[in-house]
Structure 1
Amino acid sequence: MNRQKSISKLLMGVEVDCYQDYSKQELIQRIRSLESSIRSLEQSSPSKSSSQTITQLFQKPNSSGTPDGSSISSAIPPSKKTKNSSRSSSSSFNFKKFYTRKVALKISYDGYHHCGFAWQPEITRLTTVESEIFRALLISRLVECHNPSNLSAEKLQEDLQGTQDLWRDLVNVQAWEYSRAGRTDAGVSGSGQIVSLWVRSALNEFTIEDQIDPINGFRRPTQQEVDQTGSSSPSSKSYTNQHNSNSGELKYDRLLNSILPSSIRVLGWSGVSEDFDARFSCLSRHYKYFFQLHESTQSSMRPLNVKKMREASQSLVGEHDFRNLCKLDPSKQIQNFHRTIISASISPVINRPILATERNSSFKLSTEQEVTIFGDVGEDCLDCLDDERNEIYVFDLVGTAFLYNMVRHIVSILFLIGSELESPDLISRLLYTDQTSKEPILNHTEGEKVKIEAIERKPKYNYSNPLPLTLHSCNYPEGTFRWQQSHGDVALRPTVLNEMFGSWSRSRIKTMISLNHLRSLNETSQDIKRTEKNFRNNCEEMKIFDEVLLGAAESRLCKKNYVKVLNRERLEHYQISNSKWMKRIGTRRLENRLKSEKS
């Protein structure tokens, strides 16, 4: 009875409008969920009264020292609460009193809205994906703040919601032991990026047993160790949940998604072993690059030769020196350009939301069901506007590791081969960088003697557009993860599935609208065939130019006397550029770093 009175009293202090549309069954489920959370909190805080414990369900999870990811306001930033509550919660919170655990997060993001994935200490034109993740981690207090400027807790919490970006000084990836599987450039998206780090846990010594288990690494609160042993050093001993249950744990994905922008979503989380590292534990990365058979209206009379592109892509498989198929950045001081490609393939994309091999219980689609993105555009329409003739293809590339802009350079060369401006042998030639290594097998007339030159210096050429590129997945040893997903109250907050479906649906609608604009353009002519004739005449006039495709309908025009890649001007040897950079900039940066460390 007291518990029911407490719940009723608390519900009067929160917005109850959201419950007016609930059915009887939904209200019963909500009450059961609250009672379950109450029991969990009472077990972890037996000394507190029942009313205090219930009150914690409706407070910011970190303010009272009782983190409960299932609470209604668990993800509400401090700025949305009253000033008094924000001030008291900031002053009372002590991160060192909590257990921490190592987790992996699976993340998807739309690269078009961000200036790359990797964190940048300086402010960028668009935010990076990691900067948004770090900000969400700090707002939710899942990680400890690094505060070198000794700003007040109130000021820091206000800045996390503001535009001053003082919070950037709080980031300490070394202390968090943060790691990512891979980094992507500005404009590149990711569907299966993996990051790992130590975060605050809701579990305590009553729910964590001292056992040996390869998964679920925990660390004791450092404040607790000071009280018991007099030592301030954190314990690195690994602990595990006794029943491997996360029922009382924070809802990490739900908590972060409530703060992150809609372009970034945490798809799930998993406890991992203490020695897990998202980068070094990763076995391979899988990239996808999407392109059309007709990438330009100017080249619509000559579709890409996919057969030659497939033939050339097979030369990538194996271990090779990719210095000529990446961006050379002397600031990185890279000396080893050898990388291993596991597989490379080009295949058409089926116009379905989910492939048959990728279906799961969340999607109920019949095997015969197909979703056509484009409608019938008519027999007289140009090939580039005809869905049946202008198929979408995907280039799948799986490798153990990749160099800077490596995939985009490879795709650019494949486009040159598909446009029949270059031979399929070009990739083999670019991979042959040392006369002492085995010569590539080239297609030439039998008996003809061909002298093969080792390409030690990279030729100049453009690399492809980042928009069609996505980091599809990162692969790890089997059994590494036990993914958890938080299925919140749909009436209060949409699920990630609903959000992604909405984004996909809006993109399809935009596609149809764009196609309708193109149809309207054709209809402005009284005679469609005359329009085609004029178009072909324009193509005749364009014969003095060749078009170099770069993906996503981007291209560069060049004079008709196209210069082969191997005959172009070449960059200086990477060792020379590395040495010049080190003498000119690197030494100065090192001196400045040493000075800052001494001070």
Structure 2
Amino acid sequence: MSPNYDTWSKQDLIARLTDLEQRAKGGPHHPRPKRAISSGTGRPFHFKDHPVRKIAVKFCYSGWEYNGLAYQIDPTPLPTVEEVLFRAFAKARLVDAEAGLDGCGWERCGRTDVGVSAAGQVVSLWVRSALPVDSTKPPSEEPEPDVELASDLAPSTVELETIPDATPDTDSDLPSFDLDDDPPSNSSAPPPRTQELHYVSILNRLLPPTIRVLAWSPVSPDFSARHNCQHRHYKYFFTAHDLDTTLMQRAATTLVGEHDVRNLSKLDPTKQLTQFRRRIIKADIALVSSQQQQGKDDDAVYVLDLVGSAFLYHQVRHIMAVLFLVGAGLEHPSIVPTLMNVDGSERPLSQSDPPLPIVDRKPDYQMADALPLMLWECAFADSDVRWQTGDDHTGNGDGPDARIKGDLYHQLHAVHQRSLVHTTLEAHFLAATARYHPPPPQYFPFSKTGLTTSTIPPLANKEPPVLGVPLGGGTYRRGVRYIPILLRKRLDHVEVANARWRTGKGSRKVERVDAANNGTINDE
């Protein structure tokens, strides 16, 4: 029977519609039911009949192509990285699509937001294995999850959807890698395999070029990509235009150590955090490359290497926004330790400087652009992971997977070469424009121009000039007047913001969950 929707609240109806939309379009939690995928012998593929093992997978992706890393229940304008990656695992029959992310124990190392890229992201999960079950099965003390596997459904009910750039979903057009299907019933049992499936090449054949699997590692059953990570290394790229990188480095140095960084991140009340101390291991600004144009090298590319044990929401982008203000000369390098001086424990840059003011609430300022940010590395102990790419278990052999490994390098090298050509073309567009439109006056950095916010000369018509405060990635915040950070409006205390969420959206969320668990919200 259909539920009586006349008695449902608005929130319950919205939740129901969202759930139905997800079931209709398919996804890791609600795959679209279709016919069963069969093996080459014409029999359905039963995932539970195969051994599984836990592995870690290292991969890279172009953040500007996706709606962030994490899988989203609600529809998104662009697909997420996890959505596309999980579908590749499912299409290769490495995971059970019906069980979803939770069914394979999916864990990510570090979440990246819309526009942010990664060169060394890591996830851990249980996957199908070609090795004997006694050496790879999960711990027996864990109860079997109460989920209905695809093989337990009625015949001809499940089919994995294709993903962009994937091979056609037909029996004859499946990829040529070994799927380790059941042998025909009239044949003798084959000898146990001693080589694992070629996870890297299998996945890269199914993934779009903007996501590339680099390596995999066997891991212990209790390994967690999130909790076993020792530190994370972020890189933020920027040009030296309008910036004094020496001042930026002086400010960045104060980040090293353990500090309260609530004023250098975005408060997320949904997490109900009360601890904001994080440890930074390294904060260095270094030259990446220099592109001389018209006798100037203010377009030299620099990078902030930021290494820490853990990071708060949007922490790197907030740090870069403040460093840009320091580099432009709009803020003194002491602004960084000042923003971390929540309880009076921070010290000034030098003993001759006055004590730092206490800043227990975050001033309102805009964070830096997402495009130049990259998660470069997720570091683990050597005893936890042994990264490999092919059947030789070292990534350096010349086995059957060597051609795929070579192709992967050439693929990314070709992308890099094409990007260099684009950069050259854009530089010539700029040169052609400069012939008719001369560059505007340069006000920043104040350390080189000798100007201040009060001495910037007005325009010819006596109007104040429009200042472009750098935000990274070629973006600027434009205005005629700059307000120092410490004079800006302060946001709510953390305790106030957390309490407001608990009594507002948080309480409504709890009510919906309780109603669903108590059967108030019916399901078909």
**Post-superposition offset of 1:87:** 9.0
Letter of the structure 2 residue corresponding to residue 218 of structure 1: K
Does residue 1:568 correspond to 2:488, yes or no?
yes
The aligned counterpart of 1:501 is 413
Within 1, Cα distance between the matches of 2:247 and 2:420? 31
Amino acid paired to 1:557 = R
Deviations 1:12-46 (A, max 9, x none): xxxxxxxxxxxxxxxxxxxxxxxxxxxxxxxxxxx
Question: Structure 1 residues 544 and 515 mapped into 2: Cα distance closer, same or farther (>3 Å)?
Answer: closer
Say which of 160, 174, 182 aligns to 2:102. Answer: 174
Residue 440, structure 1, aligned to residue 347, structure 2: yes
Do structure 1's residue 308 and structure 2's residue 215 form an aligned pair? Answer: no
Aligned-residue offset at 1:182 = 0.3
**Separation in 1, partners of 2:108, 2:404:** 32
Provide the C-alpha distance between the structure 1 equivalents of 2:403 and 2:380, rounded to a whole number of angstroms: 36
1:237-386 matched pairs, under 5 angstroms: 248-294=195-241, 303-350=242-289, 374=291, 377-379=293-295, 383=296
> In structure 2, what is the Cα distance between the partners aligned to 1:489 and 1:95?
25
Contact 1:99–1:219 (CA under 8 A) maintained in structure 2:
no
2:375 match: 471
- Residues of 1 paired with 2:301 and 2:283: CA distance? 17
Residue equivalent to 1:394: 303
Counterparts of 2:442 and 2:319, CA distance in 1: 31
Query: 1:459 touches 1:566 (CA, 8 Å); kept in 2?
Result: yes
From 466, 469, 482, the equivalent of 2:386 is 482
CA contact (8 A) 1:101 1:198 kept: yes
8 A Cα contact 1:100 1:220, kept in partner? no
Partner deviation per Cα, 1:202-239 (whole Å, 9 max, x = no partner): 1125xx66xxxxxxx534999xx9xxxxxxxxxxxxxx
Structure 1 residue 197: deviation in Å?
A: 0.5
Query: CA 1:502/1:592 → structure 2, altered by over 3 Å: closer, same or farther?
Result: same
Q: Distance in 2 between matches of 1:536 and 1:305?
A: 13
- The answer to whether the 8 Å contact 1:107/1:268 transfers is yes
Note if contact 1:107-1:194 (Cα within 8 Å) is conserved in structure 2: yes
Deviations 1:81-135 (A, max 9, x none): xx99859879621111111000000010100101111111122111111111111
Mapped partners of 1:91, 1:440: distance in 2: 70
- For 1:198, the aligned partner's letter is W
Task: Give the match for residue 325 of structure 2.
Answer: 416
Give the direction of change, closer, same or farther, for the CA distance of 1:518–1:350 in structure 2 (3 Å limit).
closer
The CA deviation at 1:390 is 2.3
Look up the SS of the partner of 1:339 in the other structure. Answer: strand
Equivalent AA in structure 2 for residue 267 of structure 1: L
Secondary structure of the corresponding residue to residue 92 of structure 1: coil
Give the Cα–Cα distance (whole angstroms) in 1 for the partners of residues 334 and 139 of structure 2. 58
Report the Cα distance in structure 1 between the residues aligned to 2:515 and 2:326, rounded to whole angstroms.
51
Q: Tell me the equivalent position of 2:522.
A: none
Q: Distance in 2 between matches of 1:514 and 1:185?
A: 27
What letter matches 1:430 in structure 2? L
- Give, as a single letter, the amino acid of the residue that structure 1 aligns with 2:468: E
Cα pair distance change 1:459/1:544, threshold 3 Å:
same
CA displacement at 1:441 relative to structure 2: 1.7
Q: CA RMSD in A?
A: 3.0
Quickly say closer, same or farther: Cα 1:121–1:102, change in 2 above 3 A: same
Question: What is the CA deviation profile of residues 283-309 of structure 1, one whole-angstrom value per residue up to 9, with x for unaligned ones?
Answer: 000000001010xxxxxxxx3111111
TM-superposed deviation, 1:185: 0.9
Q: Secondary structure at the match of 1:273?
A: coil
Q: Is residue 218 of structure 2 the alignment partner of residue 218 of structure 1?
A: no
Q: 1:593 to 1:89 in 2, by over 3 A?
A: farther
Structure 1 residues not aligned, in runs of 5+: 1-82, 147-169, 210-216, 226-244, 295-302, 352-373, 526-530
Q: 1:128 aligns with which of 80, 84, 105?
A: 80
Aligned counterpart, 2:465: 544
Larger Cα-atom Rg: 1
Is 1:117 aligned to 2:46, yes or no?
no
Q: Which residue of 2 aligns with 1:138?
A: 90
Task: Please name the residue that 1:579 is paired with.
Answer: 499
Aligned to 2:169: none
Richer in helix (by share) = 1
> Does residue 1:204 correspond to 2:132, yes or no?
yes
User: Which whole-Å CA distance do the structure 2 matches of 1:493 and 1:441 have between them?
Assistant: 51
SS at 2:504 equivalent? helix
Residues 524 and 403 (structure 1), Cα distance of their counterparts in 2 relative to 1, 3 Å cut: same
Whole-Å separation in 2 of the counterparts to 1:421 and 1:595: 52
> 1:191, 1:105 → 2: CA distance?
12
Secondary structure of the equivalent of 2:238? Answer: strand
**Normalized against structure 1, the TM-score is what?**
0.64
Q: Residue 291 and residue 332 in structure 1: after superposition, are their counterparts in 2 closer, same or farther (change >3 A)?
A: same
User: Residue 334 of structure 2 corresponds to which residue in structure 1?
Assistant: 425
CA distance in 2, matches of 1:87, 1:473: 38
What is the deviation of 1:481?
2.1
Against the structure 1 CA distance between its residues 200 and 416, is the aligned structure 2 distance closer, same or farther, given a 3 Å change threshold?
same
Change (3 A) 1:392 1:88: closer
| Residues 99 and 220, structure 1, Cα contact 8 Å, conserved in 2 | no
Q: Percent identity?
A: 37
Secondary structure, aligned partner of 1:555 = strand
Question: What is the letter of the counterpart of residue 422 of structure 1?
Answer: E
Offset at residue 503 of structure 1 (A): 0.8
- CA drift of 1:411 comes to 0.3
How many angstroms does 1:592 deviate by? Answer: 1.1
Deviation at 1:460, TM superposition (A): 0.1
User: Partner letter of residue 347 of structure 2?
Assistant: P
CA distance in 2: counterparts of 1:350 and 1:246, whole angstroms: 48
Per-residue deviation, 1:483: 1.9
Q: Render the CA deviation track for 1:124-149: whole Å, top value 9, x for unaligned.
A: 11111111111111111211233xxx
Matching residue's letter, 2:93: R
1:122 & 1:191 partners in 2: Cα distance?
27
Q: Structure 2 counterpart of 1:504, which letter?
A: H
Aligned length: 413
For 1:559 and 1:275, the matched residues in 2 are separated by 56
Q: CA deviation at 1:389?
A: 3.9
The aligned amino acid for 1:176 is: C
The residue matched to 1:349 in structure 2 has which SS? strand
Asked if the contact 2:231/2:310 (under 8 Å) is kept, the reply is yes
Q: CA separation in 2, counterparts of 1:85 and 1:580?
A: 49
Q: Where does residue 480 of structure 2 map in the other structure? A: 559
Cα–Cα, structure 1 residues 283 and 494, in superposed 2: closer, same or farther, change >3 Å? closer
